[in-house]
């Protein structure tokens, strides 16, 4: 992620959740808010309900890689939080990629 950073602090996640601008599909929920910076910040949240630590880390890696390969398509100046749903436990890379791009299209934050 050369144009982006990670959201790590709990306060940053809370600010994005507070905006209440979300979209969801079968695998993920995406929250988006503007951050006033020239870069995007991506946060990934995977609950213990989804699976054990191996499964949770795998989902986070899939989301991060899907975003990294398509980050030039995203508008800049955004904070995004992707929350994995329980159905994401057995997800393949292609499904994760299409789900992430689908949510970005619903938020109108992707350049075509």
Q: Domain boundaries in the chain?
A: 4-107
Contacts of 5 by beta carbon, 8 Å cutoff, 6+ apart: 39, 40, 41, 42
Look up the CATH architecture of domain 4-107.
Answer: 2-Layer Sandwich (3.30)
User: How far apart, in whole angstroms, are the C-alpha atoms of residue 50 and residue 55?
Assistant: 8
- Kindly report the pTM of this predicted structure: 0.90
Q: Over its length of 112 residues, how does the chain's per-residue pLDDT go in tens digits?
A: 566 889 999 999 999 999 888 999 999 999 999 988 888 999 999 999 999 999 999 999 999 999 999 988 998 889 999 999 998 999 999 999 999 999 999 999 988 6
């Amino acid at each position: 992620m050369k144009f982006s950073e990670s959201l790590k602090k709990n306060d940053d996640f809370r600010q994005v959740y507070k905006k209440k601008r979300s979209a969801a599909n079968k695998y993920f929920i995406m929250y988006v808010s503007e951050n006033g910076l020239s870069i995007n910040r991506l946060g990934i949240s995977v609950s213990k309900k989804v699976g054990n630590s191996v499964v949770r880390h795998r989902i986070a890696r899939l989301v991060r890689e899907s975003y990294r390969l398509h980050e030039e398509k995203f508008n800049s100046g955004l904070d995004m939080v992707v929350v994995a749903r329980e159905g994401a436990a057995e997800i393949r890379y292609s499904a994760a990629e299409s789900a992430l791009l689908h949510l970005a299209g619903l938020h109108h934050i992707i350049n075509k």
